[in-house]
């Protein structure tokens, strides 16, 4: 590994999301909430979603972790707002597979998420990138079951 790998991990986009994370605001109404924990470091993130019909109209991300998980949460807030829960779930699944080495389907627009592919060269950091997204998956299940999410982990 080298400075190159490092610059691939911490691309400008990632550092920007880290420095100015999106979704750091209170939302009017919390319809679904879920928390995720990375047991290996103790980092925790809570997602709050405002949902109208099946569409996510606002996202709040609470809790701060490392640059990778903060940026990933920030991108999540930007990306899933305005999408249906089903779409958000699909993006989360694609991102998970992408982190484990698969290429995303050609037609999907993953926005700044593409910038997180550099994390793949740092296997121990993949969990950091996934934390907000596995939390989102739990939020989707919670919504379907009409409950608040439980704290899930990246393990």
Asked if 15 interacts with another protein (CB under 8 A), we say: yes
Report helix angle 12-19 to 67-80, nearest 10.
Answer: 90
* DSSP tag of 64: -
Q: From its phi and psi, is residue 82 left (phi > 0), alpha (psi between -120 and 50) or beta?
A: left
Which tokens sit at 85? 């829960």
Sheet holding 151-153, edge to edge: 55-62, 43-52, 32-38, 151-153
Q: Is 144 an interacting residue with respect to another protein (CB under 8 A)?
A: no
Which one among 27, 30, 67, 110 touches another protein, defined by CB under 8 A? Answer: 67
10 contacts another protein (rule: CB under 8 A) = yes
Question: 8, 9, 46, 132: which one contacts another protein (CB under 8 A)?
Answer: 9
Rank residues 9 and 49 by Cβ distance to another protein and give the closer one. Answer: 9
Kindly indicate which of the ranges 9-17, 24-32, 52-60, 109-117 contains the residues binding another protein, using the contact rule CB under 8 A: 9-17
Strands (E) located in 10-155: 32-38, 43-52, 55-62, 151-153
Size of the site for another protein (CB under 8 A): 22
How near is the Cβ of 77 to another protein at its closest, in Å? 19
Coil, strand, or helix at residue 149?
Answer: coil
Q: Which of 77, 128, 129, 142 binds another protein (CB under 8 A)?
A: 128
Candidate segments 26-34, 39-47, 75-83, 90-98, binder of another protein by CB under 8 A: 39-47
């Amino acid at each position: 590994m080298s400075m190159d790998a490092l610059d691939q991990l911490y691309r400008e986009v990632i550092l920007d999301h880290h420095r100015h994370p999106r979704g750091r605001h209170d939302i009017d109404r919390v319809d679904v909430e879920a928390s995720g924990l990375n047991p290996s470091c103790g980092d925790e993130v809570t997602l709050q979603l405002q949902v109208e019909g099946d569409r996510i109209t606002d996202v709040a991300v609470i809790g701060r972790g490392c640059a990778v998980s903060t940026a990933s949460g920030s991108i999540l807030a930007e990306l899933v707002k305005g999408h249906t829960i089903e779409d958000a779930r699909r993006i989360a699944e694609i991102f998970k597979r992408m982190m484990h080495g698969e290429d995303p389907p050609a037609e999907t627009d993953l926005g700044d998420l593409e910038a997180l592919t550099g994390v793949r060269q740092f296997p121990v950091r993949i969990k950091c990138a996934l934390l907000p997204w596995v939390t989102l998956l739990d939020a989707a299940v919670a919504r379907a079951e009409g409950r608040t999410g439980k704290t899930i982990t990246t393990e």
